[in-house]
Amino acid sequence: MPTKYDTNPLDPDFPEKAKAAAAAGQETRGLPYAGPQTNGFSPAPATEDPTRRFGNPDFSPYQQPYNSQYVPAAYQPVELMGAGSSRKRKVDKVGLPENVMVALPYLPFSIGLVAGVLELLFVPRHEAKVRFHAAQGLAAHVGILLITTILGVIGEFARMANIGSGIFTAVTTVFLIIFAIKAWKGRPIHIESIDALTNWFEEKIKLK
């Protein structure tokens, strides 16, 4: 008789029954086996779009031999949009192009001096760029005139002062011409040594 610890799921009397059946001439019958059946998927609908093939990508730029060095692409300078038109625009209440107005105060001799005073008088406050160059050019002319006067006074007593005055006038004339060309081309110009005088002229010289 099987016990509760018996893990055999078969009938414990099966061996004896099998022997008795064999002695009586009975054969063991198995269940019929039809085999597994495979179900296929349904065919694709006829309305499906055909597969489209894209063009072959061009990888030629990346197929160059690697030499362990990174070579950047050549830099192509791009001109700022509207940079040229901004320099040639008409200055408010004056009517002259901006590049002409910023260059006039740096012209040598009395031309730049007079141009700087007139621009500060007639150019409105919102034209900050034109007023700055007018004040800076005027300050440069005043500084040159002051130093030239001092050298002229000293030249009455020392001949070397006259030579120094001539050299100073020639050098400053060249620099003023360079400043005028740079201003006309739109290049930045800043004379730090006359900042205080430039700011004073820009603030004080104006129409009421």
Q: Is the pLDDT of residue 70 over 80?
A: no
DSSP state of 155: H
Contact assessment for residue 122 and residue 94, using Cβ atoms and an 8 Å cutoff: yes
In a domain, 155, yes or no: yes
Contact assessment for residue 101 and residue 130, using Cβ atoms and an 8 Å cutoff: yes
Q: Is the pLDDT of residue 197 over 90?
A: yes
Winning range, highest mean pLDDT, from 37-46, 65-74, 76-85: 37-46
Q: Is the pLDDT of residue 23 over 60?
A: yes
pTM of the model: 0.58
| pLDDT band with cut points at 50, 70 and 90 for residue 29 | low
In a domain, 73, yes or no: no
In a domain, 169, yes or no: yes
What is the model's pLDDT at position 153? 87
CA atoms within 13 A on the CB side of 207: 8
Name the percent of the chain lying above pLDDT 90.
44
Q: Quick one: how far is CA 52 from the chain centroid?
A: 40
What is the model's pLDDT at position 159? 78
In a domain, 46, yes or no: no
Top pLDDT among 121 and 208 is at 121
DSSP state of 123: S
The boundaries of the domain holding residue 115 are 88-204
Winning range, highest mean pLDDT, from 5-14, 161-170, 174-183: 174-183
| pLDDT band with cut points at 50, 70 and 90 for residue 152 | confident
What is the model's pLDDT at position 78? 44
Count of domains forming the chain? 1
Quick one: CA dihedral 181, 183, 186, 188, positive or negative?
A: positive
Span 31-67, pLDDT tens digits: 565 666 677 777 666 655 556 665 665 555 555 555 5
What are the structure tokens assigned to 162, written together?
A: 């006259």
In a domain, 137, yes or no: yes
In a domain, 77, yes or no: no
